[in-house]
Structure 1
Amino acid sequence: MPNSISSIESYDSDEPAPLEIDKKQLLACATNMLGTLCTSAIPMTRGVNHEVFLLSFEANGNTHPGLAKAGHRCIARFTRVNSVTATRRDASEVATLRYLKRKTNIPVPEVYHQDLSPDNPVGAPYTLMEYIQGRHLYKLWGALNLVAKKAVLSQIATVVAKFASLCFQSIGSLHDEGIVGPLITPATNIQRGPFFSTKEYFLSFVQIQRELDTFFTKTKEDPGLAPPFAMIHADFDDQNMLFTEQPDGLPPKLTGIIDFEYSYTGPLYFLFEYPIFIQDVSWSKELYPINAILRPHFVREIFNRLPDEESRSILISCMNSKSYTLNSFQSSFMSIESSENGLIDLAKSYLQCVREGTHPAYTGRLDYTAELYLADGSLV
């Protein structure tokens, strides 16, 4: 479940006890930073890592341009856990958002101000960011017809192609001025990296080398695993994509990509992937036929947006080489909170499955046969 939002919609959460925030100080700080009177702070949602408020501002001629565009509102997101790792994570997320604002036109929230000191007047580390209008895609997706779903995926494919255009020579998390630093993940508090090869990146989590040595020897020429690396959104799913519904039966329009905590620079293999909501899962068999149409559509749309034959060839290579070794690494070590002992147990289980060599790349549907693509982006 996401921990940060930029739209007015909230969603279910476990809702831990609220932070003790000095709202008067919050209003005063927001007024000072944005040069417009902040009149209210309304709680929106609470997650394990963050608590989010919607701030409203007075409408006048001196309103900050970002506030005026957002209906005189912005988001205040507070960090719930005071730790070095949380500070690094939130600072990296802001560095990533600012980098994307400078380098692309991907609709991400503008960051107005960040104060990560736990002793600030408001009472907890916080970030003020742009409020983006829109609904989370997961609230719209099920009611869309096939034409609209294709149009939505085409817009998401545009974002993927733009992420691919951002080239980095190492794997890690972004810091100020777009510098790649140590990798920040939910899996561990230990800093790792930055790394200059995918093999080095993998071995930082899995210390037993024999199986991975064999795998990377076989894939050493795979351009999807080699530098330059690209921007990877760590949770590129429908709860982090905002869309606005359009009149006259037009498909929804993408208005924002949010929640960039734990985003990182990484191999194109992990960028060129089907969104999870068009992957098959055994408990939704009724979606198999439409997903079988949407997956190749998504790949073709990325293919058509890439700038040259080389990048298109890498896309096809990545889509045709999906494996348990790579996919399970991502789901095991890049998205699950774990202690160091827990990581050791994960590594043992992961390596056992790699040794067996019988586990599919996608585990949601055991009888799934992955699509294969020709050099022109069409299905085999």
Structure 2
Amino acid sequence: MSRAHNFNAGPAALPTEVLESAQKELVNFNNTGMSVMELSHRSPDYEAVHNEAIVSIKRLLAVPDDYEVLLLQGGASLQFPMIPMNFLSKDETANYILTGSWSEKAVKEAELIGKTRSSVSSAESNYTYIPDTNQLGLSENDAYVHITSNNTIFGTQWQDFDLDWKSPLIADMSSDILSKPIPIERFSMIYAGAQKNLGPSGVTVVIIKKDLLDRSSQNVPTLMRYRTHSDKNSLYHTPPTFAVYMLKKVLNWVEENGGAEGMRQRNTEKANLLYHTIDESNGFYQGHAEKNSRSFMNVTFNLPSAELNEKFLKEAKEAGFVGLNGHRSVGGCRASIYNAVSLESCQALKEFMIEFQKNN
């Protein structure tokens, strides 16, 4: 059976080479006579995998020495309450920039912990754009500023982080981490669920500046404390060992394919194929996001009618395309083109879109 053209929003496509390598090692990893899933997380064989994953993240993203990399569980959703529990004291206010559903979920959790504000939001347009940098309403009095760097549902993405954020900047990068080089030094903390660009679901990567770590509250349950995981090299309790193993393999694949800059080039080429098809369709395909806010990870679009949307999705599925349904809040279609989605799959989708327009 041939591989599907997988455009799922997450869990998402994994590199075929990574899957084949894991398949070969599945029942006997590193001549242990056991699967990596069966190893003790205290064993030298697993600890080597764990530490290599952390080192690879630091190398691929050029993480400065004054940051730590943690491998946690619970997905990005667990980070939503963990962040204010650790960094939002009762006399402070956190600023959540609202650009989509995930930033809404993040602030909703933070409101249960302490005081928040949203200095700017693009909700009035159904999140078609990223706010202009001169409209952000930043303040030195904010405990921290929280952003979602890429919005999977609406297909928008922050293009620029090069400004004075005035207070610690924390970013949910679940859907675009390692899709391009990142100016890590602009952030006090980055977090990302792995299941879009880094591997399968189950592990969450946190990159955190040590000075932010130093100011974290100690009046937090042990497992919800960043310091707990930092002090124990993310081995305080049993980690998601297979997910970390797959993370390491995906990181190796990224390195073999040009690193973060290689991913930028690869993803730009894929996105340009699809956006060009939308822009040259004379309005048959209508992009949700404004052009200067377009995501290079999630291409969202509608057709002229709900009936044509339905027909497009039905015929696309029959042609071997998976995961093109748009989220219910936007409707229409969405092609998620994370790192592991091939140029060939994007080219095939482009050709299908052109042919469908001709026939309809």
TM-score (norm 2): 0.23
TM-score (norm 1): 0.23
